[in-house]
Amino acid sequence: MLAFIGIVLGVVACFLTWNQGGSYSTLPFWVSIVSTVAAIWAWGVSSNYRRDPQTMPNFIPAVSMLTWVVSIALIILGIAV
């Protein structure tokens, strides 16, 4: 469930950064796209370890947390600009 919240944050960040200039050529928009794709990837990989989450590699939750931080920063940027 927490990884899904990262996806929602990423989609909101994509929407807010796209509305900055109204074009797809802004850097924050593409960073939010990459962050959202990474959140979807982390959610998919972590769902493979539902039965035994202790065997999940440590970098998968780290990627998920990183996408949260990047998405929140981009949401703040999208609101501020």
Q: Place 71 in a pLDDT band, splitting at 50, 70 and 90.
A: very high
Give the total number of structural domains in the chain. Answer: 1
Could you tell me if 27 and 18 are in contact, meaning their C-beta atoms sit under 8 angstroms apart?
Answer: no
Q: Residue 52 falls within a domain, yes or no? A: no
> From CA 40, how far away is CA 3, in angstroms rounded?
8
Q: Residue 61 falls within a domain, yes or no? A: yes
**For the segment 3-13, what is each residue's pLDDT rounded down to a tens digit?**
789 999 999 99
The pair of structure tokens assigned to 50 is 């539902």
Region of poorest pLDDT, from 4-8, 22-26, 62-66? 22-26
> From CA 17, how far away is CA 59, in angstroms rounded?
27
Fill in the amino acid letter for 71: S
- Is the pLDDT reported for residue 1 higher than 80? no
Q: Residue 70 falls within a domain, yes or no? A: yes
- Owning domain of residue 11: 2-47+57-80
% of the chain surpassing 90 pLDDT: 65
Q: Place 78 in a pLDDT band, splitting at 50, 70 and 90.
A: confident
The pair of structure tokens assigned to 29 is 């928009």
Whole-model pTM?
A: 0.88
